[in-house]
């Protein structure tokens, strides 16, 4: 059963556990051994080294408002980058090619963007849609709730789980490390019968999702708390709009939608 989990510290990967527990000469010896046993390469360009090299990580910048056609009347949508080239390769590697280790740098980038998001508050949404920024001076005792956009059951099974929920948990943990209490609220699901949206025109995407994004009551945040909807890619905005509408029908306010990348010309160069 889906539940809301509040994060107060970041998760740690196997490499971090091994290296972090070894200091001095032992750490210097372990690092090259781990490079041999657990080799990594950049998810964007394939160069051996970090999970995302400096250049590829730099493609995920500050949140910029974008304007998908199907989100014209909904919450504002913000993207960290453009869905092309090395950023596209990294997101596909994470989503479709089993690179779940990329959840760490991608989640960290998402958390960084949330800290820069204009007009957002971590007080649980009690102030309504006019939120304050989550700046160091404004970080109070409230919880910032993240709702991941769900995949269909078939897609999740093919990918080894709900990829956005995993990424949102890393983002929440990174926020906790920055002093902002955050929670992942897996409050949405996709009803059976929804097709993969790749290749569908905007009208077909809308018809495909009509009435089929449903709430998961056990995963919703407490009543009266606002959430940020998070996803990997926005194209027409059909999925984001359907998810926001489903949350609003439960009485959950959605002041912002944040995605890692925007496909097409929606405001990012």
Residue range 42-78, pLDDT digits in tens: 999 999 989 999 999 999 999 999 999 999 999 999 9
**Whether 57 contacts 19, CB under 8 Å:** no
Residue with token string 């709900």: 162
* Residue 162 tokens, joined: 């709900």
Q: What percent of the chain has pLDDT over 90?
A: 58
pLDDT recorded at residue 37: 61
pLDDT score at 131: 34
pLDDT of residue 268: 58
Q: Which residues contact 48 (CB under 8 A, 6 or more apart)?
A: 39, 40, 41, 42
Residue 48: in which H helix or E strand, if any? none
Mean pLDDT to the nearest integer, 174-203:
85
Q: How many CA atoms lie within 13 A of 104 on its CB side?
A: 14
| Complete DSSP assignment for 63-102 | -EEE--GGGTTSS-EEEEEESSHHHHHHHHHHHHS--GGG
The pTM (predicted TM-score) of the whole model is 0.80
Residue 134 pLDDT more than 90?
no
- Sequence spans of domains, the chain: 5-262
What does the mean pLDDT of the chain come to?
Answer: 81
- When pLDDT is cut at 50, 70 and 90, the band that residue 187 belongs to is very high
Give tens-digit pLDDT for 207-244: 777 788 999 999 999 988 989 999 999 999 999 999 99
pLDDT at res. 162: 94
CB 171 within 8 A of CB 108: yes
Alpha helices in the chain (DSSP H): 14-20, 24-37, 54-57, 85-96, 103-116, 153-159, 163-177, 202-209, 238-249
């Amino acid at each position: 059963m889906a539940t809301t989990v509040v994060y107060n510290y970041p998760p740690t990967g196997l490499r971090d556990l091994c290296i972090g527990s070894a200091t001095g000469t032992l750490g210097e010896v372990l690092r090259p051994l781990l490079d041999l046993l657990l080799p990594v390469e950049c998810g964007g360009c394939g160069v051996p080294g970090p999970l995302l090299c400096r250049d590829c990580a730099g493609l995920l910048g500050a949140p910029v408002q974008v304007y998908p056609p199907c989100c014209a009347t909904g919450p504002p949508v913000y993207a960290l980058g453009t869905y092309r080239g090395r950023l596209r390769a990294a997101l596909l590697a994470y989503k479709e090619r089993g690179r779940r280790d990329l959840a760490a740098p991608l989640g960290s980038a998402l958390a960084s963007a949330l800290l820069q998001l204009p007009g957002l508050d971590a007080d649980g949404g009690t102030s309504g849609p006019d939120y304050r920024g989550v700046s160091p001076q404004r970080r109070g005792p409230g919880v910032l709730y993240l709702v991941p956009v769900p995949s269909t059951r078939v897609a999740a099974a093919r990918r080894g789980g709900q990829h956005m929920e995993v990424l949102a948990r890393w983002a929440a943990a990174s926020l906790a490390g920055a002093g902002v209490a955050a929670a992942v609220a897996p409050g949405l699901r996709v009803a059976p019968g929804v097709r993969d949206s790749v290749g569908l025109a905007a009208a077909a995407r809308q018809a495909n999702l009509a009435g089929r994004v449903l709430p998961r009551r056990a995963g919703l945040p407490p009543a009266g708390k606002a959430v940020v909807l998070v996803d990997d890619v926005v194209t027409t905005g059909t999925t984001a709009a359907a998810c926001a509408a489903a949350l609003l029908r439960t009485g959950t306010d959605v002041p912002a939608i944040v995605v890692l990348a925007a496909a097409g010309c929606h405001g990012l160069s």
